[in-house]
Chains A and B, each alone.
Chain A
């Protein structure tokens, strides 16, 4: 990069030189743009989708319930979330081993939002060279207007991002209404500003520095790489020795390789590295250098692919392998985990019961000779529809469960508290015994049970 290509942005990070990546078009950039549109589209639109009269995806923290379309997850289902995180981590390993840092270049929120912010910067401040000229120019009406427009777009977009983020945790339609009438709660306001502010800083200013200094994945992904991992690479054997040449000249006679030393690959790089120096951990695999080089190769009439997606083995002219122990192990584990997750999730019990002993009395000896323990039942209905439950018990001969029946109504997604008296004939046990309290929905037949301790006097 030329020395005039970098300059201090004079703001938050005084000593760092701002990178102005040159805009580039090409097949991989088209793919990345599509990926960004799809991902941002999902992010911004998903909270607005309704499902059965409520927000389809709502991580309802105040109510401690997660709704994901027809699925409702409770704190007790935390296990599924953990499982999902393990699957996500393993997927990352698998795809990294297979295709390198695809995630970084196409799907990482840091990349996607940075792209969006870069786009706004270009719309307001112009091309790379116009931006650099503008930064160096003294303040003028035009500079103020352009910089102001950029800040306006950035801040609006960042605030909208923060608003959408909070909309995943609190119903977004209500939230929009509250914002329109300036009546949002303290925490809602705080998190909108917090997330919006983080977006603004990360995508507007920190950009590639996040990948370089803050991202753990960038550092440990090399552990998942092998010589068959797809990487973005410069074909050194073909390109070197690099050098400028006249068009149509017999460069091979002069001992030159295919690299015309135009530095386009460096100018388009959002992290400011030179791909020709080999694989570097700063590389986020955005493929901008591939598109840039292909364009140049087309212009000078050389075959494409001097910079390309390839594996180390491919580069060395050896056989490329997709199936290898590493990918087989990751792939098998991943398939097992996903299958297990799906099976467990679909077959999980949609109703549940917790039995809590009444704290006031251990037991009561009734006038009619029965011994009574009082419990508080919490019946959970995780199903999409309401259910009527019958309660029964077992564990001690002659045990009766007395409650306000004959059935207990529990609405969809609700927890119903109900006091029950468990009675056994006097003298049927000494001290205590375990009893099982069972609930059964009628007529659906969903059942759940829970153990409890029954306490009786010792005679």
Chain B
């Protein structure tokens, strides 16, 4: 093997914190986009609460869509965050199973 190419692989990893931010925000972003699409295909935001009283929840559809999107993003990001937290704080398993970190390394 060529020593020139050997020692670089481990270097170009994002720091853990950046990985965590990325894998929490990105999948939840995708899910929120889909959820927004489904939700507002069936619900017209200006019709939410639009009776004589209370007044409409959203002044315009664009506001409704945007608020809906960020709401979904927040909710799904919380879910991703909890999942990540549980996965990261997992105790070592019984003999023969690996720590999360080792599993990650082995599967590459």
Chain A bound to chain B: yes
Besides A78-B38, A274-B9, 20 new A-B residue pairs in contact (Cβ under 8 A), listed by A number: A2-B4, A3-B7, A14-B15, A15-B13, A17-B11, A61-B62, A62-B61, A62-B62, A75-B41, A187-B62, A187-B63, A209-B14, A210-B26, A212-B14, A213-B22, A261-B2, A263-B2, A266-B5, A273-B9, A276-B5
Q: For the complex formed, measure the closest distance between the CB of A29 and the CB atoms of chain B, giving whole angstroms.
A: 22
Which residues of chain A come closer than 8 Å to B38, judged between CB atoms?
A: 78
One digit per residue, 1 when the CB lies within 8 angstroms of any chain B CB and 0 when it does not, for chain A 43-82 equals 0000000000000000001101000000000010010010
Determine if B103 is an interface residue (Cβ-Cβ < 8 Å).
no
Say if the beta carbon of A19 comes within 8 Å of chain B. Answer: yes
How far apart are B107's CB and chain A's nearest CB, in angstroms?
9
Q: Is the CB–CB distance between B12 and A78 below 8 Å?
A: no
Which positions 258-278 of chain A face chain B at CB distance < 8 Å?
261, 263, 266, 272-274, 276
A185 located at the interface, meaning its Cβ lies under 8 Å from any Cβ of chain B in the complex: yes
- Residues of A within 8 Å of B53, CB to CB, are none
A62 and B62 alpha carbons, distance in the complex (Å): 6
Residues in A neighbouring B7, C-beta threshold 8 A: 3
**Residue total for B at the interface (Cβ-Cβ under 8 A):** 30
Q: Could you tell me if B5 and A15 are in contact, using CB atoms closer than 8 angstroms?
A: no
Give Cα A274 to B4, complex, Å: 11
Does A13 sit at the interface, judged by CB under 8 A?
yes
**Contact across chains for A61 and B8 when beta carbons are under 8 A apart:** no
Whether A119 sits at the interface, judged by CB under 8 Å, is: no
Pairwise interchain contact B26-A62, C-beta atoms closer than 8 A = no
Please tell me if the beta carbons of B61 and A16 are within 8 angstroms of each other in the complex: no
Question: Within 8 Å of chain B (Cβ to Cβ): is A214?
Answer: yes
Digit string of A1-44 for contact with B (CB within 8 Å is 1, else 0)?
Answer: 11101100000011111010000000000000000000000000
Residues of B within 8 A of A81 (CB): 37, 41
The 5 closest A-B pairs by CB, nearest first: A78-B41, A214-B26, A187-B62, A15-B15, A1-B8
Mark contacts of B1-27 with chain A using CB atoms, 8 A cut-off: 1 yes-contact digit, 0 otherwise.
010110111011111001100110011
In the assembled complex, the Cα of A81 lies from the Cα of B34 at a distance in Å of 11
Complex Cα–Cα for A280 and B22 (A): 21
Binding site for A on B (CB under 8 A): 2, 4-5, 7-9, 11-15, 18-19, 22-23, 26-27, 37-38, 40-42, 44, 60-63, 65-66, 108
Indicate if the CB atoms of B4 and A263 lie closer than 8 Å. yes
Name the A residues within 8 Å of B4 (CB-CB): 1-2, 263
| Docked-complex contact A16 and B62, CB < 8 angstroms | no
Residue of B19, B42, B44, B62 with highest tally of chain A CB at under 10 A:
B62
15 pairs from A and B in contact (CB 8 Å cutoff): A2-B4, A14-B15, A16-B13, A16-B18, A17-B11, A185-B62, A187-B63, A191-B66, A210-B26, A212-B14, A213-B14, A213-B22, A213-B23, A273-B9, A281-B108
Cβ of A263 and Cβ of B42 under 8 Å apart? no
Complex-state Cα separation, A13 to B44, whole angstroms: 41
With a CB–CB cut-off of 8 A, which chain B residues contact A213? Answer: 14, 19, 22-23
Shortest Cβ distance from residue A236 to the other chain B in the assembled complex, whole angstroms: 12
Residue of A nearest to B8 (CB): A1
Q: Interface SS of chain B: helix, strand, loop or mixed?
A: helix
B41 and A15 contact, CB distance less than 8 A: no
A242 in the interface (beta carbon within 8 A) = yes
Q: Once the chains bind, are B37 and A64 in contact (CB under 8 Å)?
A: no
Contact with B along A197-226 (1 / 0, CB 8 A): 000000000000110111010000000000
B69 CB to nearest chain A CB (Å): 10
Flag if A62 contacts B5 (CB, 8 Å).
Answer: no
Residue in B closest to A241 when the chains form the complex, CB atoms = B1
B65: A residues at CB distance < 8 A:
61
CB distance A78 to B42 under 8 Å? yes
B residues near A212, Cβ cutoff 8 Å: 14
Residues in B neighbouring A273, C-beta threshold 8 A? 9
- Which partner residue on chain B sits nearest A281 by CB separation? B108
A121-151 interface bits toward B, Cβ cutoff 8 Å, 1 = contact, 0 = none: 0000000000000000000000000000000
Task: Please determine whether B15 and A13 come into contact, CB atoms closer than 8 angstroms.
Answer: yes
Bound CA span A238–B27, Å: 41
For window 239-271 of A, CB contacts with B under 8 Å fall at 242, 261, 263, 266
CB of B41 within 8 A of CB of A62, answer: no
Q: Least Cβ distance of A194 to chain B in Å?
A: 10
**CB-based nearest A residue for B65:** A61
Residues of B within 8 A of A276 (CB): 5
CB < 8 Å: which of B18, B60, B66 contacts A190?
Answer: B66
Min distance, Cβ B46 to any Cβ of chain A, angstroms: 10
Distance between B21 CB and nearest chain A CB, rounded to angstroms: 10
Q: Is the CB of B37 within 8 A of A19?
A: no
- The reply to whether B44 and A19 form a contact with Cβ atoms under 8 Å apart is no
Q: Give bound CA distance, A276 to B40, whole Å.
A: 49
- Partner of B14 from the list A13, A62, A185 (CB cut-off 8 Å) is A13
Across the interface, A64 reaches (CB within 8 A) one of B15, B61, B63, namely: B61
Cβ-closest chain B residue relative to A190 = B66
Query: Chain A contacts of B14 at CB under 8 A?
Result: 13, 15-16, 209, 212-213
Q: A272 touching B12 by the CB < 8 A rule?
A: yes
Check B12 against A16 for contact (C-beta < 8 Å): yes
**A348 CB, nearest partner CB in chain B, Å:** 16
Knowing A75-B42, A78-B41, A266-B5, the reply to whether A61 touches B15 (Cβ < 8 A) is: no
